[in-house]
Amino acid sequence: MHRTASLLLCLYLGCLACEGANPCCSQPCQNRGVCTELGTDAYECDCTRTGYYGQNCTTPELLTWIKVSLKPLPNTVHYILTHFKGLWNIINNISFMRDAIMRYVLTSRSHLIDSPPTFNSDYGYKSWEAYSNLSYFTRTLPPVPQDCPTPMGVAGKKELPDVKIVAEKLLLRRKFIPDPQRTSLMFAFFAQHFSHQFFKTDMKKGPAFTRAKGHGVDLSHIYGEELERQHKLRLFKDGKLKFQILDGEVYPPTVSDVQVDMHYPPHVPESHRFAVGHEAFGLVPGLMMYATIWLREHNRVCDILKQEHPDWDDERLFQTSRLILIGETIKIVIEDYVQHLSGYHFKLKFDPELLFKERFQYQNRISSEFNTLYHWHPLMPDDFHIQDEVFSFKQFIFNTSILTNYGVNNLVESFTKQIAGRVAGGRNVAPAVLMVAMKSIENSRQMRYQSLNAYRKRFNLKPYVSFEDMTGEKEMAAELEELYGDVDAVELYTGLLVEKPRQNAIFGETMVEMGAPYSLKGLMGNPICSPEYWKPSTFGGKVGFDIINTASLQKLVCNNVKGPCPIASFYVPNVKDSVPTTINASTAHSSQKEVNPTVILKERTSEL
């Protein structure tokens, strides 16, 4: 509407007046200063508390100048953290140093996220509506104003390039590029499973909206978003979730058993329509495998709690188990998942107490940009190797029989052995999911995202000065130039996927420096990490608290499979170790006091 009006005005006044329509289009305010347009030819930058002053918030205050001069570049910090292994081995062992560094990692990252949240895709200025309406994803940068000369503000062409052409020239896989960090499919499916609890775009309302009102790690993908769904999934006995037994093993119940909505195509037989918290988890066996593991874990924790508290009713056992599983999830995500992704030799630590004396808000709002950057579809290989079989994408998708035919054991083993694709560096999206990448770009346009370079500035990174600076090579740089015209007009998602990866790494600089703040803020902003919650009694006493504080991916698997448990790892262990691929299950079960399975795994693969 607004657009049509300005277009009419434009025709009426002649286009001269229009070019200067909104002076904020050129993003004149630097260093996170806020731009307000004053009519059509003036603007004001609000530099309050940015540490800078002047018309465009470009002049640093003395203290800012000192801080900025002393601050090492993100790439330098990354280099230090991913090299000097011997030094880190020592630092990791000195607890006050490890704590201090971890505290710094958490605070420096999460301070980049506005909390309370500010904008959304319909409000580029602060408003109560944007703050309070949880149906929206929030926005880290406001949308580009409607009345700007180009979709990216003032840079680039009047129209963005055809999405299909962008995808085919820059994103589509030519030949599978394995991730040099040796990320496994076990990681890829964990990423998809874990992130879909808070990335649930409300397709009916549009890309700006979410169906996940918890805005964080609430385990709605296990328990359901709504209370009604949760109740249908619960057994109402001993706190447990409903399940079925096939070949002597526990699996989720079927849709016909519990009557919850799940998305399955018609060809999937009734008997294979498993029902879990998230409607879409029938999509791939990797998702249903994790859903099965977590269901077993929930019921296992219920058993333990009931032993401790024989007098507790179903409700209390259920609720307390849920809190414990939230804790386990955060522990595993920080110490196994983020640890792997980071490539750091520094040993990350999940310890909420590190933040108790810091200025930190225990709240979180999922932003659209976080969702966009998490579209790690290049992780997906061309086909899936399970035991001695090879499944094409087509055979794999919605094939829940794979889970029951092979069992959790075999799937974990196979997914741990198969390497995932590299995410940055361009041209590594499998044809089967190219549409998803295209959709992601289309949605970003609909939500009027600012450019990759605008986001780089927002996260304290230097904007790329040329296309070659962005890709680190010439061929894709030339394609980009032809498509976008100006490096300041390259879109966020395209940029993230074509960006030059860091040396031997899965991601480029922007993905990490932007993704890590959202991620850590979301994990540590969880209520269970706040001082009143983070104590044994919240989790049913020492037993529950210990489950959280000793959780790992390997233990999660070992505690929930029958028989010998396979190695479970977010990276593919080196093949030159000719150690058998299963580890002693009795060892893994006997928890803390005996050998820790993760230690065995780390030792075996320590040369990595």
Ligand X SMILES: *[C@@H]1O[C@H](CO)[C@@H](O)[C@H](O)[C@H]1NC(C)=O
Residues that bind ligand X (CB under 6 A): 26, 28, 54-56, 58, 89-90, 93, 133, 135, 395, 399, 401-402, 405, 584, 586-587
Residue 363 contact among ligand X, ligand HEM, none, beta carbon within 5 to 8 Å by kind? none
CA dihedral 487, 23, 459, 135 (to 10 degrees): -110
Nearer to ligand X (CB atom), residue 47 or residue 492: 47
109 annotated as a binding-site residue: yes
Residue 586 contact among ligand X, ligand HEM, none, beta carbon within 5 to 8 Å by kind? ligand X
Residue 542 identity (one-letter amino acid): K
CA pair distance 271, 255, nearest whole angstrom: 8
* Smallest gap from residue 440 Cβ to ligand X (A): 22
Query: 566, 409 in Cβ contact below 8 A?
Result: yes
* Smallest gap from residue 399 Cβ to ligand X (A): 4
> How far from the centroid of its chain's Cα atoms is residue 314's Cα?
33
Backbone angles phi, psi at 64, to 5 degrees: -60, -45
* Smallest gap from residue 268 Cβ to ligand HEM (A): 15
Q: Cis bond leading into 265, ω under 30°? A: no
* Smallest gap from residue 608 Cβ to ligand X (A): 16
Judge residue 600's burial from the number of C-beta atoms within 10 Å of its C-beta, 0-12 exposed, 13-18 middle, 19 or more buried.
middle
Query: What angle, rounded to 10 degrees, do the helices at 185-195 and 401-417 form?
Result: 120
C-alpha to C-alpha distances, 200 to 138, 194, 205, 373, nearest whole angstrom = 13, 12, 12, 14
Residue 379 contact among ligand HEM, ligand X, none, beta carbon within 5 to 8 Å by kind? ligand HEM
* Smallest gap from residue 89 Cβ to ligand X (A): 4
Q: Does 376 bind ligand HEM (CB under 6 A)?
A: yes
Residue 182 contact among ligand X, ligand HEM, none, beta carbon within 5 to 8 Å by kind? none
Range 545-562 burial, b when 16+ CB lie within 10 A, else e? bebbbebbbbbbbbbbbe
Tokens 């002076």 identify what position? 23
* Smallest gap from residue 33 Cβ to ligand X (A): 10
Q: Does 434 bind ligand HEM (CB under 6 A)?
A: no
Residue 574 contact among ligand X, ligand HEM, none, beta carbon within 5 to 8 Å by kind? none
Give the residue at shortest CB distance from ligand X: 395
Residue 376 contact among ligand HEM, ligand X, none, beta carbon within 5 to 8 Å by kind? ligand HEM
* Smallest gap from residue 289 Cβ to ligand X (A): 13
CA pair distance 109, 519, nearest whole angstrom: 9
* Smallest gap from residue 202 Cβ to ligand HEM (A): 8
Instruction: Pick the catalytic residue from 52, 374, 464, 571.
Output: 374
SS (H, E, C) 290-345: HHHHHHHHHHHHHHHHHHHCCCCCHHHHHHHHHHHHHHHHHHHHHHHHHHHHHCCC
Query: What angle, rounded to 10 degrees, do the helices at 95-110 and 509-524 form?
Result: 100
Give the residue at shortest CB distance from ligand HEM: 201
Nearer to ligand HEM (CB atom), residue 144 or residue 438: 438
Instruction: State yes or no: is 196 an active-site residue.
Output: yes
Which tokens belong to 533?
A: 């919650």
Residue 56 contact among ligand X, ligand HEM, none, beta carbon within 5 to 8 Å by kind? ligand X
DSSP-derived letter for residue 201 is B
* Smallest gap from residue 512 Cβ to ligand X (A): 26
Selected from 24, 166, 433, 505, the binder of ligand HEM by CB under 6 A is 433
Looking at residues 285 to 304 of the shown chain, list those that interact with ligand HEM (rule: CB under 6 A).
Answer: none
Nearer to ligand X (CB atom), residue 511 or residue 585: 585
377 annotated as a binding-site residue: yes
Range 516-529 burial, b when 16+ CB lie within 10 A, else e? bbbbbbbbbbbbbb
Selected from 120, 150, 197, 201, the binder of ligand HEM by CB under 6 A is 201
Selected from 199, 243, 318, 415, the binder of ligand HEM by CB under 6 A is 199
Residue 28 contact among ligand HEM, ligand X, none, beta carbon within 5 to 8 Å by kind? ligand X
Selected from 439, 445, 458, 604, the binder of ligand HEM by CB under 6 A is 439
Give the number of other CB atoms < 10 A from CB of residue 71: 12
C-alpha to C-alpha distances, 154 to 22, 127, 392, 536, nearest whole angstrom = 10, 26, 45, 55
Q: Which helix or strand (DSSP H or E) is residue 260 part of?
A: none
Tokens 């001993």 identify what position? 238
Selected from 98, 298, 340, 377, the binder of ligand HEM by CB under 6 A is 377
Tokens 């307390």 identify what position? 320
3-state helix, strand, coil in the chain (%, to 5): 50, 10, 40
Instruction: Pick the catalytic residue from 78, 193, 196, 278.
Output: 196
Residue 89 contact among ligand X, ligand HEM, none, beta carbon within 5 to 8 Å by kind? ligand X
Range 378-392 burial, b when 16+ CB lie within 10 A, else e? bbbbebbebeeeeee
SS (H, E, C) 55-107: CCCCEECHHHHHHHHHCCCHHHHHHHHHCCHHHHHHHCCCHHHHHHHHHHHHH
Nearer to ligand HEM (CB atom), residue 154 or residue 436: 436
Residue 26 contact among ligand HEM, ligand X, none, beta carbon within 5 to 8 Å by kind? ligand X
3-state secondary structure (DSSP) of residue 169: helix
Nearer to ligand HEM (CB atom), residue 436 or residue 543: 436
Nearer to ligand HEM (CB atom), residue 376 or residue 484: 376
Nearer to ligand X (CB atom), residue 466 or residue 586: 586
* Smallest gap from residue 309 Cβ to ligand X (A): 31
Q: Does 492 bind ligand HEM (CB under 6 A)?
A: no
Tokens 């409300």 identify what position? 202
Site string for ligand HEM, 167-196 (x = CB under 6 A): ---------------------x--xx--x-
Nearer to ligand X (CB atom), residue 6 or residue 582: 582
Residue 309 identity (one-letter amino acid): H
Task: Please report the beta strands in 399-513, taking only residues with DSSP state E, as ranges in sequence order.
Answer: none
Nearer to ligand HEM (CB atom), residue 284 or residue 583: 284
Active centre residues (catalytic): 196, 374
State the binding site for heme b.
377
Residue positions in the annotated binding site for substrate? 109
- Where along the sequence are the contacts to ligand HEM (CB under 6 A)? 188, 191-192, 195, 199-201, 284, 371, 374-377, 379-380, 397, 433, 436, 439
What residue numbers does the annotated binding site cover? 109, 377
